[in-house]
Structure 1
Amino acid sequence: MIEARDITVLAGRKHLLDGAGARVVPGHVTALIGPNGAGKSTLISVLAGERRPDAGTLLLEGAPLATYPGRALAQRRAVLLQDSALDFAFTAEEVVELGRLPFSGTPEQMDDEAAIAAACGLAGIGAFRHRSYQTLSGGEKQRVQFARSIAQIWRRPGKSQSLPRYLLLDEPTSALDLRHQRMVLDIARRLAGDGVGVLAAIHDLNLAIAYADDVILLREGRVLASGPVDEVMTSAGLGACFEVEVEILTRENGSRAVLV
């Protein structure tokens, strides 16, 4: 498990995070939701070890995150950030290959070809796999970056998984159409079924309520509530987080829908 306790991040005198906590549990999809400026991207960057907090504790399997060498951490967790800009004329496939760099010179390098093929197939980028990344649309670039993160945590089916893996996604559906939004979260659920711990910052509340096991409500850098989706995503809880009236309907099939 990746765990953040009492995390504070300052930008001058402003608290980007103020005593925030979060857990990424293997086998679970955790949705991180909140209004713009709530601190979602900052929290993900802290959990990824890319930003050092001003206060608080970060743990991976109970040990301080800072004690893990960067390469060892990269072999166990992948991060998909909002910014997917590249200055080099890589093909889409070459971008996906970047996810395998942490395994260079290790026995796992033997799985690079299979990992890249599987990631490209899951993300549905086969039609433009050999095109220049710079010529792709925003949504296509996002899917390529998603494939890169899948390749990084991919393991050969049936291979013993002694160490948990993690996938941290910052707005993974923001540039995608409806079909591909569902595709990305279907894959997240599939990976969780294989034991991967997934944390995804999601704006669409209906996607969050449909796909998440757990939810973290974040507002102004503070966690308002966290826990199982049915307990956290209530009319009162979402209303307090977003300062709007929220109604949650239960369909005949038992699924729930959020109306704002």
Structure 2
Amino acid sequence: MLHQKIEAADRSVSGLLVDHVSVRIGATPIVNDVSFHAKPGEVLAIIGPSGSGKTTLLRAMTGELQYIGHVLLSGLEIGDLSPEAQAQIRGVLPQLSQISFPLNVSEVIGLGLIDRQQARRTRLVRIAEALSKVGLAGFEGRNYQDLSGGEQQRVQLARVLCQVWEPVSGDGTPRWLFLDEPVSSLDIKHQYQIMRLAADFAAKGGGVVSVMHDLNLTLTFADRVLVMRKGETLAFGAREKVMRTDLLSRAYDFPLTLTRCAVAGAPIVVPVTGR
């Protein structure tokens, strides 16, 4: 693995440690020397314009892409772990999840149940609970291919939740959710429902890393924010320190302003369009 070429990072650091990580696709550099530390109990949002390297970085963090540097999850180098070992400590929701086989919803979600020795009734109960969490109670027998894009996205999240059902394992190790644009196909009600699920997972001791495009959802749910631009870190830190008008406008090369909702009083990001 490419990450083995540099000296070992500090394995005593808990949570998720990304240490001088770079990723190339062929000869093209996509992510360049990114470092940060994410803690269990928090939601970390990765934001930035399209093409800034957010998804590539996430795929490196989940062991899908080779990387230079170190990605340590609870002190373990993610690139050195087997797929089975990775599945025990983190669940991944990609942008797109294509399934070509004619599976029903229950069968798709069942792919996330690691313990194949569970009694059938126990598995069915867990699947029903996961569907209820994502607002799809009673969908078990529906054909996955017949669902809308937003419904399929929520079914895939239910699958991931089944994989890391308890935010903290029996030995006290936090589990992690890695989400790539988890609300991209959802209406506003279900966007908030899914982000509340992620925040609840973190509140119970797990860790959440989510690539986000919606800056206002980021303002609402993120504890820490990593801003990327052209494959590099533009800013990283607590939400209130990073979500600033000047920094966001520079990140997106577009005039933005931070104001407050007249009704709720919550901070919101709006474009400065001149209209």
- Scaled by the length of structure 2, the TM-score of the pair is 0.87
Q: Work out the CA distance in 2 between the residues paired with 1:161 and 1:108.
A: 23
Alignment RMSD (CA, Å): 2.2
User: More helix per residue: 1 or 2?
Assistant: 1
Please report how far the alpha carbon of residue 85 of structure 1 lies from its aligned counterpart in structure 2 after TM superposition.
Answer: 0.9
Q: Structure 1 residues 243-252 or 70-79, which shifts more?
A: 243-252
Q: Structure 1 residues 108-117 or 25-34, which shifts more?
A: 108-117
Q: Work out the CA distance in 2 between the residues paired with 1:224 and 1:108.
A: 49
Q: Deviations over 1:7-54 (max 9, x none)?
A: 11112332110111243321101111011111111111111111111x
Per the alignment, residue 148 of structure 1 pairs with 159
Q: Does the aligned pair in 2 maintain the 1:111–1:156 contact within 8 Å?
A: no
Q: Does the aligned pair in 1 maintain the 2:128–2:138 contact within 8 Å?
A: no
* Partner secondary structure for residue 84 of structure 1: coil
Q: Work out the CA distance in 2 between the residues paired with 1:200 and 1:16.
A: 18
Identity of aligned residues (%): 35
Q: Work out the CA distance in 1 between the residues paired with 2:199 and 2:144.
A: 27
Does 2:37 match 1:26?
A: no
Per the alignment, residue 142 of structure 2 pairs with 131
Please report how far the alpha carbon of residue 94 of structure 1 lies from its aligned counterpart in structure 2 after TM superposition.
Answer: 1.0
Name the amino acid aligned to 1:36.
S
Name the amino acid aligned to 2:132.
G
Per the alignment, residue 10 of structure 1 pairs with 24
**Pairing 1:109-124 to 2, within 5 Å after superposition:** 112-124=123-135
Q: Does the aligned pair in 1 maintain the 2:62–2:78 contact within 8 Å?
A: no
Per the alignment, residue 104 of structure 1 pairs with 116
Residue of structure 1 aligned with 2:189, choices 161, 179, 186: 179
Q: Does the aligned pair in 1 maintain the 2:46–2:226 contact within 8 Å?
A: yes
* Partner secondary structure for residue 112 of structure 2: helix
Aligned length: 256
* Partner secondary structure for residue 208 of structure 2: strand
Q: Deviations over 1:55-113 (max 9, x none)?
A: 1111122232234332122011100001111011111111111111x3234x8999634
Name the amino acid aligned to 2:51.
G
Q: Deviations over 1:130-167 (max 9, x none)?
A: 1111111111100100111111111399x856111000
Q: Work out the CA distance in 2 between the residues paired with 1:197 and 1:86.
A: 27
Q: Work out the CA distance in 2 between the residues paired with 1:81 and 1:227.
A: 24
Per the alignment, residue 203 of structure 1 pairs with 213
Residue of structure 2 aligned with 1:73, choices 73, 83, 86: 86
Q: Does the aligned pair in 2 maintain the 1:103–1:109 contact within 8 Å?
A: no
* Partner secondary structure for residue 15 of structure 1: strand
Name the amino acid aligned to 2:109.
V
Q: Work out the CA distance in 1 between the residues paired with 2:189 and 2:245.
A: 27
Name the amino acid aligned to 2:140.
R
What stretches of structure 2 of length at least 5 have no aligned partner?
A: 1-14
Q: Work out the CA distance in 2 between the residues paired with 1:129 and 1:232.
A: 41
Q: Does the aligned pair in 2 maintain the 1:31–1:208 contact within 8 Å?
A: yes
Does 2:92 match 1:82?
A: no
Please report how far the alpha carbon of residue 254 of structure 1 lies from its aligned counterpart in structure 2 after TM superposition.
Answer: 4.9
Per the alignment, residue 189 of structure 1 pairs with 199
Name the amino acid aligned to 1:13.
A
Residue of structure 1 aligned with 2:260, choices 250, 253, 259: 250
Per the alignment, residue 5 of structure 2 pairs with none
Q: Does the aligned pair in 1 maintain the 2:257–2:269 contact within 8 Å?
A: yes
